[in-house]
Amino acid sequence: MDMPKLWLVLALSILISLGPSSTGMTKTVRDVTWGSVFKLLNTAYEVRLHSHDVKYGSGSGQQSVTGLQEKEDVNSHWQVKGTTVYGANRGEPVLCGSKVRLEHPPTEKNLHSHHFSSPLSRHQEVSAFGDAGEGDSGDVWEVVCKGSSWKRDQTVQFRHIDTSVYLGVSGNTFGRPINGQYEVVGLPHSDASTHWLTQEGIFIHPSEKPGSWAKSNSEHTEL
């Protein structure tokens, strides 16, 4: 793991231990910005998008992606990034319709989908894929939202570019070794289970320089 990402993981771990009284933030409407790191809450099932170094026992065999009820787990953080085709200006608002990658900082893999069946519901599998944030076209998602930009207090949907499915939750839960975690899938149509709300995170401002993710001037909410 390179030094900027090491600092990011350390910052997330430290901020988790601080609790809400240490942030001093007031709740206002703001944009989600390129380079920010945050959690995503599925509003239908009230679980956070999550990954970990546990591979699927079927399908692709890639790293699993689930929905987790626990709020504090550092493995529920994702960083919004541009793609090799669609660039991104760090700290600028992510516009509706943008093509994005969502990287999982602890494992440096991207949110991914492809034509494999999910293990429980047999919808399309969603996994974490790639090496040091580099994967393939299956990592690219379109931000589907209302208005001009992705707002932190409004739900958003993610449509997979390669296969046109929507990121959602099936409602099924896994047994061991990830007991009680919800199955995250790609669904052919948008519905209540494909809506996500931005939660706790570190939100980057345009004036910040690359590598400054963990600096104290980064705006953050409780992680």
Domain range summary for the chain, segments of one domain joined by +: 3-209
Q: Write 157-161 long-range contacts (CB < 8 A, 24+).
A: 157/190, 157/194, 157/195, 157/196, 158/100, 158/102, 158/111, 158/194, 158/196, 159/190, 160/113, 160/186, 161/99, 161/137
pLDDT tens digits in sequence order for the chain, 223 residues long: 554 554 455 454 434 433 333 333 334 458 999 999 999 999 999 999 999 999 999 999 999 999 999 999 999 999 999 987 777 899 999 999 999 999 999 999 999 999 999 999 999 999 999 998 889 999 999 999 999 999 999 999 999 999 999 999 999 999 988 999 999 999 999 999 999 999 999 999 876 444 444 333 345 555 5
- Dihedral pair phi/psi, residue 220, rounded to 5°: -140, 155
So what's the pLDDT on residue 212?
A: 43
Supply the pLDDT for residue 79. Answer: 97
Cβ atoms of 71 and 40 within 8 Å: the answer is no
Residues facing residue 196 across a β-bridge: 42, 156
| Torsion angle, alpha carbons of 109, 140, 78, 56, to 10 | -50
pLDDT on residue 223: 55
Q: What is the pLDDT of residue 119?
A: 96
Mapping DSSP to helix (H, G, I), strand (E, B) and coil, where does residue 130 land?
A: coil
User: What's the pLDDT score for residue 2?
Assistant: 56
DSSP state of 174: -
| Residue ranges in the chain assigned as alpha helix (H) | 3-18
Q: What are phi and psi of 159, to 5 degrees?
A: -105, 125
The counts of H helices and E strands in the chain are: 1, 13
Entry field: residues in the chain: 223
Q: Is the pTM of this model over 0.85?
A: no
Domain 3-209 in this protein, CATH class: mainly beta
